[in-house]
Amino acid sequence: MNFLVTGGAGFIGSHVCERLLHSGHSVWALDDLNAFYSPAIKERNLQEITALGKPFTFILSELSDVKALENLFKEVRIDQIIHLAARAGVRSSLDEPEFFQQVNVEGTVNILEAARRHGVKKIVLASSSSVYGVNKKVPFAENDPVFSVISPYAASKLACEALGHVYHYVYGMDVTMLRFFTVYGPRQRPDLAIHKYAKLIAAGKPIPVYGDGSTARDYTYISDIVDGVIACTERKFGYEIFNLGGSETVTLSRLIELLEQAFGKKAVIERHPIQPGDVPLTYADTTKSNKLLNYAPKVKIEQGIPLFVDWFKQQVKERQ
């Protein structure tokens, strides 16, 4: 099949592209290579994908460029879309709320409209565990109320979920929304905690810790996320929302301990107050995903952190 993967040069997107290519599909990856973090990182991802020598095409474009989308769909018969492109980040969304709505919400409308106009009936869209906000019930299940979001980023993802339902209900599209829970692994964005901490620990610099270390996240290794994404492309649901998480919580203090063990050195901790927009806990109930997607995360945090650190050290070595 022919797949369009938006955000295909990014962390999750590049891994999804590779899995699709290894499975015999043709892939068109759309990405704007923006400067949210160094475009050189995404360019390296693209080089690794291209080196596979499989049917892969990269399109440099923003989601706002409706003309570029139209040209792509006229030239290529796209069978499915995996929409991963978005401006991410809870804290940065507080600084640029308008921009987050423009990229995430309007960009998603542009993708859905292109799919509608050109008869693409199946689309998988990335949402986020952030939509659960300050949910007091744990673990978080897909049918929990989601009216307590606490960041513009989370609000934008919730809007995308609603838009997905509109296009399913009105146009009969098969739409799957995936709520990702703190994804990590090789190629992880440098602004995310694990990558940022790894860089600082390796350099012997202080790591900023917000709060007392008791906040907890459901960390999910990249290969498990990709398993869930691909499972959605192989099934029809009409409209469904799925959690993709590791289904266990890890405190920030424990995460730092695992990084210290992997690097063989102690972290220098710099304490800061909890930041606005940060939720105290994320924890995925994956019962539904297991039942309907056969989703079963395999990589525990004790395995995943050393794998990430090995990749991180190799990247440092290659740049020296």
Provide the annotated active-site residues: 153
Query: Residue 199 — φ and ψ, nearest 5°?
Result: -60, -40
Q: Retrieve residue 69's tokens.
A: 């989308």
Contacts of 5 (CB under 8 A, 6+ apart): 13, 16, 17, 20, 27, 28, 29, 30, 81, 82, 84
Rounded CA separation 114/140 (Å):
32
CA–CA gap between residue 84 and residue 8 (Å, rounded): 7
Beta strands in the chain (DSSP E): 2-6, 26-31, 56-60, 80-83, 122-128, 174-180, 183-184, 206-210, 216-217, 220-221, 239-244, 250-251, 268-272
Residues 13/84, Cβ–Cβ less than 8 Å? yes
